[in-house]
Amino acid sequence: MIDDIETLVRCESPSADHEAVARSAEAVAGIGRRLLGVEPERIVTGGCTHLRWRFGDGEPRVLLLGHHDTVWPIGSLRTHPFSVEGGILRGPGCFDMKAGVVMALHAAAALPGRDGLSILITGDEEIGSPLSRTLIEKEARSCDAVFVLEASADGGALKTRRKGVSLYRVEVEGRAAHAGLEPEKGVNAGIEVAHQILAIAALADADRGTTVVPTALTAGTTTNTVPAKASVAVDVRVWDAAEQERVDRAIRSLAPVHEEVRIRIDGGINRAPLDAGASSELFRLANELAAGTLTQAAVGGASDGNFTAGLGIPTLDGLGAVGGGAHADDEHVVVAELPRRTALLTALAETVLARGSSSTPTNEPGETRAGQR
């Protein structure tokens, strides 16, 4: 498993670089081919490569769900090299979530029977899964359980509740003018976006756990020009759908302070909350299989498990690596936990597959397979 994780970590795969993601998909495919004895389907949506293995003749009943893209740019290995020392594995993307991909493939390889199993490894999760959401939802619709190989919460806790996510971009259009000669003839988009940022931040509700955070900000062109344009990205996290709708309505209702400014709102609700009810039965099963040693956590980050839980499919998240430092300089995986967590995943999949077939219908997705139309 360590060798396979090294292979994937050394094949850098930032989400926006589709060529790098395609190379990473081939690395994942090679590991899966060796372990499972079959080639995956290479599914390309919008230039992004995803992989799928399906076993048996019917619709899938258990889905192992992961992603092979990362937030780390090409060249990160020079400053964050792969290493294993003192029982700790390090490298860009190892925790989130290339170790989880390897765990899914090894767990599937250990199953005594795979009929009804699907493994889906996508290539754009870190940017919100815009090109894989339809594929994920289609693959999950017939399933009795979805096991998400995202990394664990602190201390190895499974993620049984996740916040929903909304993403927006607020664009402000004013009018340029010379900042020294006649600033009064301009309409300062920078000042206007500052007003909007304050209004946006005020939508947060700490008591409800709702965060509304203005993030990436741009304004202006040169130091002596009144900014004609400005924009701010907004990240929203909520525990329940009602809050998500409240914030969505409020952001779409933003009005300009300056009468000559125009405001444009892009984006919207990305992932609904993953409610604890979607995970409760599967967590009880996992904890029984683990002799009562598991813990659970609610987390602010979202995953593709939010999509499947939103369909009403039982979903258990955080089954991947134990470690920490996702997206950070200290990203790492605890090596000793890799075989234990993989054995748990195998036991979970085997137990659910043994329960019998689901009759939930599945619709065909709008997708393009590599080399086909």
Q: What distances in angstroms separate CA 8 from CA 69, 137, 139, 151, 227, one per listed residue?
A: 10, 26, 24, 16, 44
C-alpha 304: how far from chain center: 5
Q: Indicate the Cα dihedral angle 116, 335, 317, 156, nearest 10°.
A: 140
The answer to whether the beta carbons of residues 313 and 141 sit under 8 Å apart is yes
The C-alpha atoms of residue 95 and residue 90 are separated, in whole angstroms, by 8
Which residue among 125, 144, 150, 350 is the active-site one? 125
- Residue-level length of the chain: 373
Terminal Cα distance for the chain, rounded:
35
Q: What is the DSSP string of 296-365?
A: EEEES---THHHHHHTT--EEB--S--EE-TTSTT-EEETTHHHHHHHHHHHHHHHHHTT-------PPP
Q: What is the DSSP string of 3-39?
A: HHHHHHHHS--BTT-HHHHHHHHHHHHHHHHHHHSSP
The C-alpha atoms of residue 164 and residue 11 are separated, in whole angstroms, by 31
Looking at residue 68, the DSSP 8-state letter turns out to be: -
Residue 318: Cβ within 10 Å count:
28
Residue 69 annotated to the active site = yes
Residue 337 annotated to the active site = no
The C-alpha atoms of residue 298 and residue 312 are separated, in whole angstroms, by 18
Which residue among 4, 12, 69, 331 is the active-site one? 69
For strand 62-67 and strand 145-148, is the pairing parallel, antiparallel, or unpaired? Answer: parallel
- Residue 345 CB partners (closer than 8 Å, separation 6+): 64, 103, 104, 107, 147, 149, 319
The answer to whether the beta carbons of residues 46 and 23 sit under 8 Å apart is no
Active site residues: 69, 125
